[in-house]
Amino acid sequence: MHLFLRRISLLGLSFVLCFGMQIKAQGILTGLGGNDVVKMAAKKAKKMHKSDTLLLYEPIWLPLTDDFSAAGVYPDTALWLNRQGFVNQSFCYNPPTIGCLTLDAVDSKGKIYEHASVSPFGADTLLSRPIRMDSIPISPSVLIPLSPADSVYFSFYYQPGGGLGAAWEALGNSPETDDSLVLEFAYQTPNIVLLYYIYDTVCPLDTVQIGDTIFSPCDSGLFIIAQQIYAPFDSVAVPCDSVCAMETIWETVWATQGMKLKQFFDTYNTYFRQIMIPITDPKYFNSHFQFRFRNYASLDDSYAEYQSNCDFWNLDYIRLSNNRTCNDTAINDLAIVDNPGSILEKYTFMPWQHFVNNSSSEIKSGFELKLTNLFNQTKNSMYQYIIYDDDSNTVGTYNGGNQNIDPFVPNGYQTASVHAQPPMPANLTLPSATKDSVLLTIAHIFRDQGNSDVNSQNDTAFYWQKFYNYFAYDDGTPEAGYVVISTDGKRTTGLALTFQLNKADTIQAVDIYFNNVYNNATEHEFDLCFWNDEGGKPGQLIYKQTVNQIVTDEIYGFQRFYLDTPFVHSGTIFTGYQTYKNKFLNIGFDQNNSAAGYYFVQKNGGTWLDDYNFSNGTPMIRLVVGKTIEHTDIQVVKDNEKPDFVLYPNPANDRLYITTTDQCDVNNWKISIYNITGQTVLESDYEQQISVSHLSSGFYILKLTYPQNGQSVFKKFVIQ
């Protein structure tokens, strides 16, 4: 899209520019009040002065392919123009490859859209960059014209959100029949139209009354009519620049109405349906073709406590290319489908000292993987996994060798157990038992042995096994909210999770993930409680502290409640909350991990019951233990925080992989590699894999720079 920016010289008006000024007890599942992963990414982007608005969009060339398996929260800016939609591994059910893009009812800042209503409203949009559909380069200086005769097809997979089975097995919220997913193509006309104004901030020298005219300092033809009284030197936003472009016309080329995934499967006999669209109209074959997906959502027409994120759609494997046919549905791609997760049997994360004190009971026997072959022929594949410690040293390996894998259609996932059910490594070497914390990185690698795979990005899945100062059953990402309500609306309700301390330790705090529903309708005071073990259920109350849920944009995910009086405990303990007079607490609920049998609800101040437990999922409450913690009321990310990353393999040969626990802004990190004499041999933006085949054998240093605060981390590696 060619944009034309118009600037007019500054006029001598009576204001000054303002710089730096800114204008029956039971458990019920609900939707999410927003997306805190996206909120955190949006805050980081804001701190780094990113903008959703670009003044010039460079077109990209065919082919376009994205299966959303890359690290990140937002869509890849190399292909997409906006940050709507959530790249994740949590909400898609049996996707073609690991990861998908979810469209829902929250904006790019992770909040429910301000214009949301119970009637269908336009929610997320996935907008492509302009695409060169007029020609294809065969060399830097030679272009071949592209036309409808070149058999250009647009294809994608889609799925209505919500998953299958009972409510506690759902992954997000299903779209209703009034909701929809729409695909639109764009073409341009010769007309020039106004897109929007760029605003500047001015400070009037005199009092401005309602109805007064405030002229722009950039263009005397631009002004606003004051809707409020401004005192001298108040900041006022006025239009300054106008941005114009060639008129773009959008046309709907495909649409579908909402439905539950079971109905979807019964109708199409697949969990992700692939759509093939030929592009035959000459008007689309221009230098700035674009497409966009849009979803139309509607809030649940119920109690405010339950109005939350809704109407999910999942997209995967979008492809746009020439020389295709309507039968070009197979993709020459072997891929991992989901992340195998934690090495722990019960928890997702736990303190290191408690793990090493009983490691044989805490570690699980092996992994479960879904591995797929999207091609239409049997392929020969290899699978292995490698476990690294904090210093990138290998502490455990497993090699499943080579196996044939049949096409997913009609055979399904890989069934060979050496690939699909790998055991824990026999050579696992645990780090020192004296450490306070440990971070292990598990890299699962599954690829085509013949090296004909068209997409290596989905061949590797990483899991960061955290042994820090807390116990957790959840993975940090909620798929729903969980509310315990009273049957009579008058007496106590409660929720308690079981934790097993393998050694005497000091209980310092409790982390609770609050699902802040629409308009923060569940903000309440409650009692943070601990109970002893009485026959496998909460018994005597041993600690109680009255606290307040704080709804604020400055809290990402978990809110930490420090104990006024930390205490020492060993063995089983229960922690959670009690509320009174039907005050609802809406807690994040992780549906990809299960604490069934380990959490209990309290009925009208009476007996603790587990008969309301769901067979899958866990309320997101964590127990924090260990040394005395210096704290403030609300935890924030410190400005001097450094990135944490792992290199593998080490030693390396032709390719070096870089993985990090922080996926929000990896595309903005900088990489530098130095040889043993300190000479810079490579500088680049962050890439998950870097070719080092051109480097000679020897020792090297890799520096990763964190752009949010300029902090850097160095790690050594060897090439041989």
Q: What local confidence, expressed as pLDDT, does residue 556 receive?
A: 43
* Lowest pLDDT segment from 249-258, 576-585, 604-613, 617-626: 604-613
- CA 624, 562, 622: angle at the middle one, nearest 5? 30
Q: 111-115, 134-138, 274-278, 477-481 — which one is most confidently predicted on average? A: 274-278
Q: What local confidence, expressed as pLDDT, does residue 536 receive?
A: 92
Residues 6+ apart with CB under 8 A from 414: 369, 370, 371, 372, 373, 381, 403, 405, 420
CA separation for the pair 389, 441 (Å, rounded)? 7
Q: What local confidence, expressed as pLDDT, does residue 49 receive?
A: 37
CA separation for the pair 667, 79 (Å, rounded)? 13
CB 117 within 8 A of CB 198: no
CA separation for the pair 600, 609 (Å, rounded)? 5
Q: 164-178, 254-268, 378-392, 482-496 — which one is most confidently predicted on average? A: 254-268
Q: 16-25, 128-137, 193-202 — which one is most confidently predicted on average? A: 128-137
Cβ count within 10 A of residue 439: 18
CB 57 within 8 A of CB 1: yes
For 350: left if phi > 0, alpha if psi spans -120 to 50, otherwise beta; the answer is beta
CA separation for the pair 228, 211 (Å, rounded)? 8
| Chain segment 421-457, per-residue pLDDT in tens | 999 998 888 888 788 889 998 989 999 987 677 888 8
Q: What is the DSSP string of 404-459?
A: EE--HHHH-S---HHHHSPBPPTT-----TT-S-EEEEEEEEEEETTS--S-GGGG
CB 293 within 8 A of CB 181: yes
| Chain segment 371-428, per-residue pLDDT in tens | 999 999 999 999 999 998 888 888 999 999 999 999 999 999 999 999 999 999 988 8
For 61: left if phi > 0, alpha if psi spans -120 to 50, otherwise beta; the answer is beta
Mean pLDDT computed over 587-614: 80
Cβ count within 10 A of residue 698: 11
Q: What is the pTM of this model?
A: 0.76
Which residues sit opposite 112 in a β-bridge?
106
Say which residue, 104 or 715, is predicted with more confidence.
Answer: 104
Domains of the chain plus CATH, in order, are 33-190+248-321 (2.60.120.260), 334-468 (2.60.40), 480-625 (2.60.120), 645-719 (2.60.40.1220)
At 640, the pLDDT band (50, 70, 90 cuts) reads very low
Measure CA 674 to chain center: 33
Mean pLDDT, the chain, whole residue set = 81
**Helix (H/G/I), strand (E/B), else coil: 311:** coil
Cis check: omega of the bond before 649, within 30 degrees of 0? yes
**Helix (H/G/I), strand (E/B), else coil: 667:** helix
CA separation for the pair 525, 530 (Å, rounded)? 17
CB 576 within 8 A of CB 622: no
Q: Is 523's pLDDT higher than 90?
A: no
| Chain segment 118-154, per-residue pLDDT in tens | 899 999 999 999 999 999 998 878 899 999 999 999 9
Residues 6+ apart with CB under 8 A from 141: none
Mean pLDDT computed over 334-343: 94
* Lowest pLDDT segment from 342-351, 432-441, 456-465, 520-529: 520-529
Q: What local confidence, expressed as pLDDT, does residue 678 receive?
A: 62
| Chain segment 251-272, per-residue pLDDT in tens | 999 999 999 999 999 999 999 9
The rounded percent of the chain whose pLDDT value lies above 90 is: 44
CB 320 within 8 A of CB 154: yes
Q: What local confidence, expressed as pLDDT, does residue 226 receive?
A: 85
Mean pLDDT computed over 200-228: 83
The rounded percent of the chain whose pLDDT value lies above 70 is: 81
Cα dist from 40 to 102, 110, 272, 476, 554, whole Å: 17, 8, 29, 13, 9
